[in-house]
Copies of this chain bind each other. A is one copy, B any other.
Amino acid sequence: MGESMQGLKRSHRCTELSMENIDQKVLVMGWVQKRRDLGGVIFLDLRDRSGVLQVVIDTSTIGADLFKKAEKIRSEFVVAIEGVVEKRSDETINKNIATGEIEIRANDLRLLSEAETPPFQIEENSNVKEELRLKYRYLDLRRPDLQRNLIMRNAVSILTREFLNQEGFLEIETPMLTKSTPEGARDYLVPSRVHPGNFYALPQSPQIFKQLLMLSGYDRYYQIVKCFRDEDLRADRQPEFTQIDMELSFVDVDDVIEINEKLLQKMFKEVLNVDITLPIERLTYEDAMNRFGSDKPDTRFGFELVDLTEVLKDCEFKVFKSAIESGGSVRAINAKGCGDFPRRTIDALGEYAMTFGAKGMAWIVINEDGSYKSVITKFLKDEEIQNIVKSVDGQPGDLILFAADKNDIVYDVLGNLRLEIARRLEILNKDEFKFVWVTEFPLLEWAPEQKRYVAKHHPFTMPMEEDLHLLETDPGKVRAKAYDIVLNGTEIGGGSIRIYQKDVQEKMFECLGFTKEEAYERFGFLLNAFKYGVPPHGGLAYGLDRILMLMTGSDSIRDVIAFPKIKDASCPMTEAPGTVEGKQLEELSLKIDMIEID
């Protein structure tokens, strides 16, 4: 069941060997990727983290006993091979692998570990169902593509730390067992044994702690740190995720953006050899919505939104007219060159639009002869049609798609339509990296359910100086010193300048509908801390998993996390979460209280 390691010392990893080692005696260890038995000669492809190496086990040189042992070898056995590096004969040279010119002629071997046939083949880009892959994650992780992903993840962490250390940041660890924060997503709770009925919360982010560190004079903080949110999972969400979190003192928006652009530039250059031209484009939230219908615009392609409200203000087409009259808008995108989409594709786009709240989707195709194909043109005056076409720069062969509704819905519908069309056209190139900063976010967002404003970023975000006066009169209009960094339509990071004045912070809590007492109950230690001299400060946090997903071109963040969880927040491999013993709950003064369904 496994021979001893005793006395063995590996001399090289598989791909550390090359023509320079010819005739050297070496000792290599690894997994058997493949085994070919040519009668009297066995060839092994030996695999370790570095790659693959060919081993020749020849009965004429290794002796009968060892050869007999070698005959037992199957795929995924772990073996130690002592042998001599030889040049392969010309006709057997394999240019596809790094060690393709050489092979090891074995003169001793140990079977360190046997292996059953794995439930799936260990190979790149396997088509195995993810469920099975995740159950046998330890085998899945042997696949070269996953290994590359985790190696790249490590490279990104190394570069990030290197850069931030050089820039005078200190990595400081903040607590994992902390206090439940009432604003934000749902917390994961940890019952306290010593304080029955009390709970810690796992951090959604180190937000408050990093602000306290600024207040304590640490000047520049960062941390690559696990954060937790008990939310229903989507493709790019995990219950635990990793942030590159940072905070800087004595800075304003431009300072934070500037240093982060340098970080991103270094990261993408050194890991992917991709050049990012600085400065990265900036869009205000308002512009992002108006042009792309999204606060995380994918700027790899056009199809920008065009506001037709002015052009159509006297329009009699009922759908457009009622949208405009009720304070909404009519906007369109010009899907350039998509005039040849078959009718069923356009219908499918219409149905897609409706999943975002559209009541329908008007469209116009400009035929090659300049005429229009459309069911709405008959409701429009010629001048209106001409103005539309002019506004969207319509050319023969174009497809114009409309949304007319409340602005929120119009943005959402057209923002998603442009993405959907790009996907259908397969013009989204994973090797193209388009960054954009989105700035000047609204400070507050009206939460109709709670009938109050909630913080768009979080309650410590600084309003823009020029909007401060609106805090009392028109809080919904106040813009924040908040910024997101968006890559190819994915928000990979975001942050803000923080409030450092106790009076502004108190006013902010007021806007959020907290009485002074409530504010103190929830954030008391922070407000107290603010009494003792606070530097202006701000920061940013990246989602490391998302960055890696984009860098590796993966479809899921699960492919850049060693041991991820699936949709129901469980781990198919360890079967976490699991039941615990009654004694454990007793110690925590807890009882399971299932709702019985009759």
Contacts and interface: CB of A to CB of B under 8 A. Distances in A.
Interface of A: 1-2, 4-6, 8-10, 13, 29-32, 47-49, 76-78, 80, 112-116, 118, 137-139, 141-142, 147, 150-151, 153-154, 157-158, 161, 165, 168, 170-180, 186-202, 208-209, 212-213, 215-219, 226, 228, 230, 239-240, 242, 249-252, 255, 465, 500-504, 525, 529, 531-536, 561-563, 565, 568-571, 573-580, 584-595
B213 A141 contact: yes
Nearest to A239: B177
Contacts of A213: 141, 562
Given A190-B202, A593-B591, A177 B565 contact: yes
Contacts of A252: 5-6, 8
A10 B230 CA distance: 40
A592 B590 contact: yes
B592 A180 contact: no
A533 B590 contact: no
Nearest to A561: B173
11 contacts: A1-B501, A2-B500, A48-B217, A77-B533, A113-B535, A139-B529, A176-B240, A177-B228, A179-B578, A590-B593, A591-B591
Contacts of A172: 150, 153-154, 562
Nearest to A6: B465
Given A139-B216, A157-B171, A196-B592, A178 B576 contact: yes
A591 B242 CA distance: 31
A72 to B, nearest CB: 13
Contacts of A9: 255
A592 B216 contact: no
Given A78-B533, A147-B217, 15 more contacts: A6-B252, A8-B250, A31-B217, A76-B532, A137-B212, A138-B216, A138-B532, A172-B562, A175-B576, A176-B240, A180-B580, A186-B193, A197-B579, A199-B579, A589-B593
Contact of A525 (B165, B230, B574): B574
Copies of this chain: 2
A560 to B, nearest CB: 10
Given A535-B29, A592-B590, A575 B179 contact: yes
A482 to B, nearest CB: 16
Given A179-B576, A562-B172, A141 B219 contact: no
Contacts of A150: 170, 172, 218
Nearest to A568: B194
A566 to B, nearest CB: 11
A158 B165 contact: yes
B187 A190 contact: no
Q: Which of A80, A178, A198, A199 has the most CB of B within 10 A?
A: A199
A198 B574 contact: no
A441 B506 CA distance: 59
Interchain residue pairs A-B with the least CB separation, the first 7: A115-B533, A141-B216, A2-B501, A198-B577, A179-B576, A591-B593, A192-B577
Q: Which of A191, A218, A239 has the most CB of B within 10 A?
A: A191
A219 B49 contact: yes
